[in-house]
Amino acid sequence: MKRRKFLKNATLSTAGLAVGATIVNCTNDKKTPTTPVTKTTQKATLPLVVATWNYPNATAAAYKVLKNGGTALDAVEAGCKIEEADINNQTVGKGGLPDREGNVTLDACIMDKNGNCGAVVYLQNITHAITVARHVMENTPHVMLAGVGAEQFAYEIGLKKENLLTNASKKAWEKWKIESKYKPIINIENHDTIGMLAIDKNGDISGACSTSGLAYKMAGRVGDSPIIGAGLFVDNEIGACVATGLGEEVVKTVGSFLVVELMRQGKSPQDACEEAIKRIVNKPNSDFKNFQVGYIAVNKQGETGSFSIHQWFSMTKFQDGKNENIQSQFIVKA
């Protein structure tokens, strides 16, 4: 398929509906305080883990790490690895849907309680992008490695080369190539990028995010998921947030950082996620009817929240020994 044709199709899909605040009437004119959080909230039972979408195996693995005395950082890495290794999950790690050229390219990042972070972008041939991101954070002077440099580094830390394009994903890509229309998919089978936040028994927070990015993206495209502040942000004094959906829109509003800053100003995780979604929806000429963005957040008290543009985004929460899938509040009904 010729690149020019791809570009043409991409342009068509972004010519969206001119709809905005007047249709959904979601302007938030409540004044928010500018001082840090002072209100006391009842403490939630710790540890706890939340993940984007319906990922009970991932949250269970992360919770197990926490129950065994592991750190929140260990937990989020372990949780993301479950989905990265699952070849039936076509949105994360091995088995992910490829870009337009048929290459599976992964983005991931991780952030710890001390504000350290690591990320990989456009990583190929390595299943556990999140482990590479963690090693970037812990064992290099940098925060982000891309492409062949990231892949080379992965081999140096002992990870092995693997073909990430499964037969199922190859078939799906070949089918897509027939029309090669690029259009963001609202909710891929109700599971997608894994974003995970954990609070350990000491109340310390870490987060991680791992994805194969948008299916059939342009070669070289990088989304929000490895961008600290966009796809993920952790501030151990305040809370953390992680995003899923159309990364371009998350990057434009620095979504996860925004949610954490709104919590710093006194909003609950729920209200902060809602406000950050409304920032996207209320932009002039926002095409929000045609794309999904969802946020999940936790605060230092262990309160959680989630909000999305479209219905059917959910958050998986493991707390008090049990897993729960919670449907997110939303703006557009399916």
Interface ranges with ligand SD4 (CB under 6 A): 192-193, 211, 213-214, 223-225, 244-247
Using CA atoms, how far apart are residues 150 and 120, in angstroms rounded to an integer? 6
* Least separation in angstroms between CB 141 and ligand SD4: 26
52 is a catalytic site residue: no
Q: Which residue is catalytic, options 193, 211, 244, 304? A: 193
Rank residues 213 and 269 by Cβ distance to ligand SD4 and give the closer one.
213
For 129-165, give the DSSP string.
HHHHHHHHHHHSS-SEEEHHHHHHHHHHTT-------
Cβ distance 297 to 306 under 8 Å?
Answer: yes
Burial track 123-154 (b if 16+ CB lie within 10 A, e otherwise): bbbbbbbbbbbbbbbeeeeebbbbeeebbebb
* Least separation in angstroms between CB 101 and ligand SD4: 16
* Least separation in angstroms between CB 223 and ligand SD4: 2
Rank residues 170 and 252 by Cβ distance to ligand SD4 and give the closer one.
252
Residues pairing with 173 in the sheet: none
Cβ distance 106 to 212 under 8 Å?
Answer: yes
- Helix ranges restricted to H, 96-242: 129-139, 147-156, 167-179
Rank residues 103 and 265 by Cβ distance to ligand SD4 and give the closer one.
103
Rank residues 211 and 314 by Cβ distance to ligand SD4 and give the closer one.
211
Token pair listed for 213: 């990015």
Using CA atoms, how far apart are residues 156 and 51, in angstroms rounded to an integer? 30
Cα torsion for 249, 312, 271, 203, to the nearest 10°? -100
Token pair listed for 245: 């959906």
Rank residues 213 and 305 by Cβ distance to ligand SD4 and give the closer one.
213
* Least separation in angstroms between CB 27 and ligand SD4: 26
* Least separation in angstroms between CB 220 and ligand SD4: 13
- List the catalytic residues: 193
